[in-house]
Amino acid sequence: MTGLSNSRSLSFLEAITPQSSESDIELKVVIPLLKILGYSDADWRSQARFAKTKLDFLVHPNELFTTCLPYLVIEVKAANKRIDSAVWQINNYMRQSRATLGLLTNGYTFRLLYNHQGQIITIFNYSQAELISQFGLFYKTLCKETCLKVGNAVLQSQNNINFQFLTYTAKIFASEDMFGLFKKKPDLNSNSQSTKQPTVVTSNQKKSMIITVFNNKGGVGKTTLTINLAATLTQLGKKVLLVDIDAQANLSTGLGIDPLNDVELAGRKDITHLLTEPKTKLEDVIYQKRWNDIELDVVPSHIRLSRMESRLTQMVDSDRVLAKKLRNNEYDFVFIDPPPWLPDRSR
């Protein structure tokens, strides 16, 4: 972009004054800036909750597979506030969300930061005039096109690592494939005759492998690992179900399911109904999510799960309810994403 075109496209910066509030900066600067960068309203969320953190803006386009970490978080201050005093804040937000980039602004100064394995580095610190004159670099770094390229590259790398992990694990623990992942599927179009009798799966045989990725500490990446492993298995031709039993619903929101809009307001059921309603079946609470050639079935969670702990505790055989509902399902793998704590059943 030329300086003249920059001046015209960024003319909205003139709308702010030293008296502009934080909400003014959000409406008059940040949102117009996101639109110029190519993001639609569906590509970002304001006042977004991420674990225990509430972010002014979380940018994560719908086209990105949701196991990708956030590309950009934005922290906004009022025009009369110095952003230097808030650097610690956005540094903390970037570490917690593990976002690649962070933008801190008061409408007059724009500081862009990069998250390198938890170390937050300032890339540049622009005034309004510098932003206009060097907007080309700013645009290439933050635009939606770059965001999608980076996200897809990271996802491919993660899938390759997960595939290698499954391959090496199979070789280490058994001479044959321990999960049955890498056996060649029969060619249904072949005219060759086989004398092998078809395998009949009875109700006493375990059809699916149920896996729980658990850690007592929160924020260690177990939800991301769960989703990535599930995505890798679907690419290997396996049918996978994800079950979110964490009231924070990080897995659900990470897969693009909003517990309020997509579940509660839509009048649909979630994990709480599956656990507390005897007549609710597994298929009643499954949501399908698809990204390119990856398709995952999800049982979402909801914040009300945290209020049902006492009710679940009083239920007879409550710790086996989910196991019963998962019997005789059609999935090769079922991944369960639990909360950072589990009740002690040893007493």
Q: What is the pLDDT of residues 197-218, one digit of tens each?
A: 433 333 444 467 888 877 665 5
Cα separation, 46 vs 54, in Å, equals: 9
Residue 243 β-bridge partners: 299, 336
What contacts 24+ positions apart, CB below 8 Å, involve 152-160? 152/64, 152/65, 152/68, 154/68, 154/69, 155/64, 155/65, 155/67, 155/68, 155/231, 158/67, 158/228, 159/228, 159/231, 159/232, 159/235
Q: Residue 20 has which token pair?
A: 């502009």
CATH classification number, 206-347, choose in 3.40.50.300, 3.40.50.2020, 3.40.50.1970, 3.20.20.480: 3.40.50.300
Cα separation, 226 vs 230, in Å, equals: 6
Cα separation, 223 vs 342, in Å, equals: 15
Is the pLDDT confidence value at 239 over 70?
A: yes
Mean pLDDT calculated for residue range 272-277: 86
Measured from the Cβ of residue 337, the count of other Cβ atoms closer than 10 Å reads 27
Report DSSP letters for 283-314, one per residue. Answer: GGG-EEEEETTEEEEEE---GGGGGGHHHHHH
What are the start and end residues of each CATH 3.90.1570.30 domain in the chain?
A: 3-151
Strand order, beta sheet including 287-291: 209-212, 333-337, 240-244, 294-299, 287-291
The distance in angstroms from the start CA to the end CA of the chain is 68
Maximal CA-CA distance, the chain: 83
Indicate the average pLDDT of the chain: 78
Which pLDDT band holds residue 167 (cuts at 50, 70, 90)?
Answer: low
Interval 3-35: pLDDT, tens:
445 545 888 999 899 999 999 999 999 999 999
What are the start and end residues of each CATH 3.40.50.300 domain in the chain?
A: 206-347
Cα separation, 259 vs 285, in Å, equals: 12
Cα separation, 107 vs 320, in Å, equals: 54
Closest CA to 33 of 102, 122, 135: 135
- pLDDT (0 to 100) of residue 203: 40
- pLDDT (0 to 100) of residue 247: 83
Question: From residue 242, how far is each of 186, 264, 290, 301 by CA, in Å?
Answer: 27, 19, 13, 11
Is the pLDDT confidence value at 183 over 60?
A: no
Interval 67-125: pLDDT, tens:
567 889 999 999 999 999 899 999 988 888 888 899 999 999 999 999 987 889 999 99
Angle between helices 144-173 and 222-235 (to 10 degrees): 80
Percent pLDDT > 70 in the chain is: 73
Does domain 3-151 sit in CATH 3.90.1570.30?
A: yes
Q: Pick the residue with more confidence: 184 or 152?
A: 152
Is the pLDDT confidence value at 347 over 60?
A: no
Residue 85 — φ and ψ, nearest 5°?
Answer: -75, -10
Strand order, beta sheet including 101-105: 44-50, 53-59, 72-76, 101-105, 109-116, 119-127
**Stretch among 13-27, 52-66, 214-228 having the lowest mean pLDDT:** 214-228
Q: What 3-state DSSP class applies to 204?
A: coil
Specify whether the CB–CB gap between 305 and 271 falls below 8 A.
yes
Measured from the Cβ of residue 58, the count of other Cβ atoms closer than 10 Å reads 23
- pLDDT (0 to 100) of residue 147: 87
Is the pLDDT confidence value at 181 over 70?
A: no
Which pLDDT band holds residue 1 (cuts at 50, 70, 90)?
Answer: very low
Closest CA to 252 of 272, 235, 267, 237: 272
Q: Pick the residue with more confidence: 143 or 193?
A: 143
